[in-house]
Amino acid sequence: MLPATLIKKKRNGGQLHREEIEAFFTGYLKGQVTDYQMSAFLMAVFFQGLSEEETLALTQIMWQSGKTLEFRRDRFSFFVDKHSTGGGGDKTSLILAPIVASLGYGVPMISGRALGHTGGTLDKLESIPGFRTRLSLEEFKAQVENLGCALIGQTEELAPLDRRLYALRDVTATVESIPLICASILSKKLAEGADGLVFDVKWGSGAFMKEYDQAKQLAQGLVGIAKGAGKRVRALLTDMNQPLGTFAGNSLEIKECVEILQGSRQYTDTRKLSLHLAAHMIQLAEPQLDFEECLRRCEASLENGKAMEMFEKVCLAQGGRLEALPLPKQSLPLLAPHSGQIVAMDTEAIGWIGVSLGMGRKTLEDKIQPTAGFEFHKKVGDLVEKGEPIVTLWGEDSFELEQYLKALQQTISVEEASSVTTYQLITQIID
């Protein structure tokens, strides 16, 4: 295998055979293909794409580059996970994982940290004092097998090739390639050992994919490749043109989730999306059930307290003291400059303000401020009166909060009331 020959084939729009993909990527693992050949190949992929067959072959090499989990099936016979491409205020994992586990399915959930302008499940969990997100793979496996759910962070043992490729893509401007994103997401999820996968592919101003068509391509890719790898799979395209839910921020999002788990119905969009994702997970496990029945079971789990009970068990197992959750002491409202209707929220810009407040990180060294966050009183389509609060900034230092008020104001467009298109949270389901 001459690496340059394979790079040239892809560069010229050719399709590589499974054996060629394997030779190139296992050659990379063995040091026979260099980083500079890999980055040239990845750039060629950016322009020429990868077919479904090529992406599947790549995904398999990535997923098999490290350990792969296989669960004992005495207590739970179906293991199912959800992956979200991320967006402002996206906190559904913390609700749907306990729901699904409480209904008798294993949920092995490996989550990420805050990335760019979006938060990360891991940072949210770590705002719960004592919560350990770094279980060993053995601890993780045992907890999923025995309790039904564990929530941990990425580990170097699963899909190490993905980690290496991602680091290379990050510094060579080859991140934004749908087949490479597909392979990266799936390699980790496939190594996790779940039987079913639900993808929440977000699009809009607060998502990584701004365009609906791009997100749809990614969703189709994820579904196609996961099926090719023998999994049950479904993808939801969901609208991220405004933050999800009422709160964004680490401990504030935990608070919102706990209230939903305790039966609150006030956070309508978070509750709805969590329930729908959970119901799709159930339907993957029980294809004979209709969707409405799956949804009813999930709602029941919220109402009868089983989901909350499961969440408490997970916290207890992982050392988290939910009762000690810190909440912010200072607040500053953003008031409507004039009466009108909220017509748009620049959700990415809001996310970057959040990063500055300490919700996320600009560099790996930055420390998270767990109580910093936003409370959204109004969402797109809502009417406001002049002087009414639209958003409240929360944190520990009111002087600091004031610094961001002006920037925040510019992210929210209040215009004369008109007919804003109704916001549809779940845009499409792909399976």
> What are the catalytic residues?
83, 162, 169, 184, 188
CA distance 214 to 202: 10
Where b means 16+ CB within 10 Å and e means fewer, 145-172 reads bebbbbbbbbbeebbbbbbbbeebbeeb
146 binds its own copies (CB under 8 A): no
Shortest Å distance, C-beta 8 to its own copies? 4
Q: Where are the alpha helices (DSSP H) in 318-423?
A: 347-357, 398-409
Amino acid, single-letter form, for residue 373: G
- In the list 24, 25, 46, 404, the residue contacting its own copies (rule: CB under 8 A) is 46
214 binds its own copies (CB under 8 A): no
36 binds its own copies (CB under 8 A): yes
- In the list 16, 21, 23, 42, the residue contacting its own copies (rule: CB under 8 A) is 42
* Binding residues with its own copies: total (CB under 8 A): 24
8 binds its own copies (CB under 8 A): yes
Shortest Å distance, C-beta 303 to its own copies? 49
211 binds its own copies (CB under 8 A): no
- In the list 1, 14, 32, 47, the residue contacting its own copies (rule: CB under 8 A) is 47
Shortest Å distance, C-beta 26 to its own copies? 18
Shortest Å distance, C-beta 9 to its own copies? 8
Which tokens in the block code for residue 409?
Answer: 């104001």
Helix or strand run (H / E) with residue 86: none
Give the count of beta carbons closer than 10 Å to the beta carbon of residue 263: 12
Site string for its own copies, 170-209 (x = CB under 8 A): xxxxx-----------------------------------
Nearer to its own copies, 172 or 220 (CB): 172
Shortest Å distance, C-beta 60 to its own copies? 24
Q: Specify the 3-state DSSP secondary structure of 170.
A: helix
CA distance 79 to 77: 7
Q: Where are the alpha helices (DSSP H) in 229-305?
A: 250-261, 268-285, 291-303
4 binds its own copies (CB under 8 A): yes
Are the C-beta atoms of 53 and 17 separated by less than 8 Å?
Answer: no
CA distance 108 to 361: 26
Nearer to its own copies, 10 or 113 (CB): 10
Shortest Å distance, C-beta 72 to its own copies? 42
- In the list 15, 26, 37, 154, the residue contacting its own copies (rule: CB under 8 A) is 37
Stretch touching its own copies by CB under 8 A, among 166-174, 238-246, 254-262, 291-299: 166-174
Which tokens in the block code for residue 351?
Answer: 């996310």
C-alpha distances (whole Å) from 420 to each of 212, 338, 350, 383, 402 are 19, 18, 21, 11, 30
32 binds its own copies (CB under 8 A): no
Stretch touching its own copies by CB under 8 A, among 36-44, 123-131, 364-372, 376-384: 36-44
Q: Hey, which residues does 412 pair with through a beta bridge?
A: 345
35 binds its own copies (CB under 8 A): yes
Give the count of beta carbons closer than 10 Å to the beta carbon of residue 329: 11
CA distance 334 to 384: 12
Nearest to 148 by CA among 189, 91, 195, 102: 102
Residues numbered 82 to 141 that lie near its own copies (CB under 8 A) are none
CA distance 122 to 112: 6
Shortest Å distance, C-beta 21 to its own copies? 16
34 binds its own copies (CB under 8 A): yes
Torsion of CA 220, 221, 223, 226, to 10 degrees: 170
Nearer to its own copies, 4 or 407 (CB): 4
What is the binding site for its own copies (CB under 8 A)? 3-5, 7-8, 11, 34-40, 42-44, 46-47, 168, 170-174
